[in-house]
Amino acid sequence: NAGVTQTPKFQVLKTGQSMTLQCAQDMNHNSMYWYRQDPGMGLRLIYYSASEGTTDKGEVPNGYNVSRLNKREFSLRLESAAPSQTSVYFCASSERTSGNTQYFGPGTRLTVL
């Protein structure tokens, strides 16, 4: 039981490059989330998926797209990376959205030059 896994762990991009962050969970959870964590700003929700087949914007969706590929996998895509997207990205999952504990992956540390 691996919980929530994320790939890659580290990534360096140049401005304008694209990349996809991968996330998978093996807990049969319905809901999945993408957050970014910046110093002094806590966690900010980028996108979430309440259930398979649905996605919704969070607090800071600009510059990102997501795909809920199936119940297990939820990917985050940066189409044209900008230095402002330098951050640590966390994927999380929960049984459902309301009132449930979220389980987090180990994070992806992204630097955009």
Partner 1 sequence: GNSVTQMEGPVTLSEEAFLTINCTYTATGYPSLFWYVQYPGEGLQLLLKATKADDKGSNKGFEATYRKETTSFHLEKGSVQVSDSAVYFCALSGETNAGKSTFGDGTTLTVKP
Interface with partner 1 (CB under 8 A), residue from 58, 61, 65, 72: 58
Site for partner 1 in 16-55 (CB under 8 A): 33, 40-43, 45, 48, 50
DSSP string, 33-51: EEEEE-TTS-EEEEEEESS
Smallest separation (angstroms) from partner 1 to the CB of 1: 15
Nearest to 87 by CA among 78, 96, 79: 78
- By the rule CB under 8 A, 111 interacts with partner 1: no
Count H helices and E strands in the chain, helices first. 0, 11
Residues 61 and 103: their CA atoms lie apart, in Å, by 21
Interface with partner 1 (CB under 8 A), residue from 8, 96, 111, 113: 96
- Which residues sit at the interface with partner 1, rule CB under 8 A? 4, 33, 40-43, 45, 48, 50, 56, 58, 90, 92, 96-107
